[in-house]
Amino acid sequence: MTHENNNHLSGQLPEVRLGSKVVGPGRPCYVVAEIGINHNGDIDIAGRLITVAAAAGCNAVKFQKRTPTRCVPPLQRDIPRETPWGILSYLEYREKVEFGAEEYARIDLFCKHQNLDWFVSCWDEESVAFMDPFDPPCYKIASATLTDDDLLRCLRERGKPLILSTGMSTVEEIDHAVEVLGTKDLILLHTVSTYPAYYDELNLRVISFLRERYGVPVGYSGHETGLASSVAAVALGACILERHITLDRAMWGSDQAASLEPTGLTRLVRDIRLVETSMGRGTKTVLARELPIRDRLRRVL
């Protein structure tokens, strides 16, 4: 395995610019609120979720874009599914929750008003072409598409920073994806693709493994229900933190149960910033505020 980025050999990792922010070691964690398809095809719900993300202090929101006829396997297209709109075939359901150009134009305008970056994970080449006019700051590559070389090359041709999730992938598959993409402006996300994920599945030490193996910034995309492990991921050096968000975990939809509600998201961003403040620079000193306490309590000077 060879990579074009050798900075990690000298202990340095590259930085990647996402919109107005720079992501990398020593930088504030870039927090992404994953709306995905939790809007259930309703642009008003999407707008409310964008407002929630902005109010919580997130840096970006993310959606998913698919061409259903390309992404739904033929054997699954006609499987009936109970939905809020009645019983639909799986293909009809996937088409129902897809936003088109009009909805994304509204999302683009609303995110600008909220001072939020926004981008998508594209699941096929047609969706990449669809997104071109919106000029996103980066593209996300979902774990499910990590082995799709044609899609990887299509995204790399856009010249944008890429964020690659590594859930349900072997080390060999990740090696190959990184070979296809190259390491320029690449960020990896440690991910466990279970919904919701159990705590004993999270394996957060993989964050440092990925960082050392590939020499690129590494973040964490969490599908667990709580906050502690996501905050721990930041303490372990995750430069991006992505969590699904919802208005109510009881809402209909496959990702709602693994998502954070507004209060949880606000607490998560608060705790991330507190942890970052607490990490310091690693130099042991005696604080000025410690001196009078030392004088009062230390018997032998």
- The total of other beta-carbon atoms located within 10 Å of residue 192's CB is 22
pLDDT tens track for 148-207: 999 999 999 999 999 999 999 999 999 999 999 999 999 999 999 998 999 999 999 999
Cα(230)–Cα(241) distance, rounded to whole angstroms?
7
Partners of residue 191 on adjacent β-strands: 221
Q: pLDDT tier at 3 (50, 70, 90 boundaries)?
A: low
Beta pairing, strands 30-36 & 240-244: parallel
pLDDT at residue 11 in the model: 56
Consecutive H or E run containing 82: strand 80-83
Using DSSP, state whether 37 is helix, strand or coil.
coil
pLDDT tens track for 231-247: 999 999 999 999 999 99
**4 or 96, which is more confident:** 96
DSSP conformation class of 74: G
DSSP conformation class of 299: S
| Mean pLDDT, residues 61-66 taken together | 96
Residue in 30, 34, 77 with CA at minimum distance from that of residue 241: 30
Token code pair at residue 171: 């080390």
Cα(239)–Cα(157) distance, rounded to whole angstroms?
24
Partners of residue 82 on adjacent β-strands: 87
pLDDT tens track for 98-119: 999 999 999 999 999 999 999 9
* pLDDT, mean over the chain: 93
Residue 6, pLDDT > 70, answer no
Residue in 280, 259, 166, 145 with CA at minimum distance from that of residue 220: 166
7-297 under CATH 3.20.20.70, yes or no: yes
pLDDT tens track for 196-212: 999 999 999 999 999 99
Provide the residue ranges of all domains of the chain, joining segments of one domain with +: 7-297
- For residue 197, the number of C-alpha atoms closer than 13 Å in the C-beta half-sphere is 23
pTM over 0.85: yes
Cα(3)–Cα(216) distance, rounded to whole angstroms?
10
- What phi and psi values does residue 229 have, to the nearest 5 degrees? -70, -35
Q: Is the peptide bond before 196 cis (omega within 30 degrees of 0)?
A: yes
Cα(179)–Cα(167) distance, rounded to whole angstroms?
17
Cα(17)–Cα(29) distance, rounded to whole angstroms?
12
| Mean pLDDT, residues 77-90 taken together | 89
pLDDT at residue 4 in the model: 52
CA distances to 10, 59, 184 from 13, in Å = 9, 22, 11
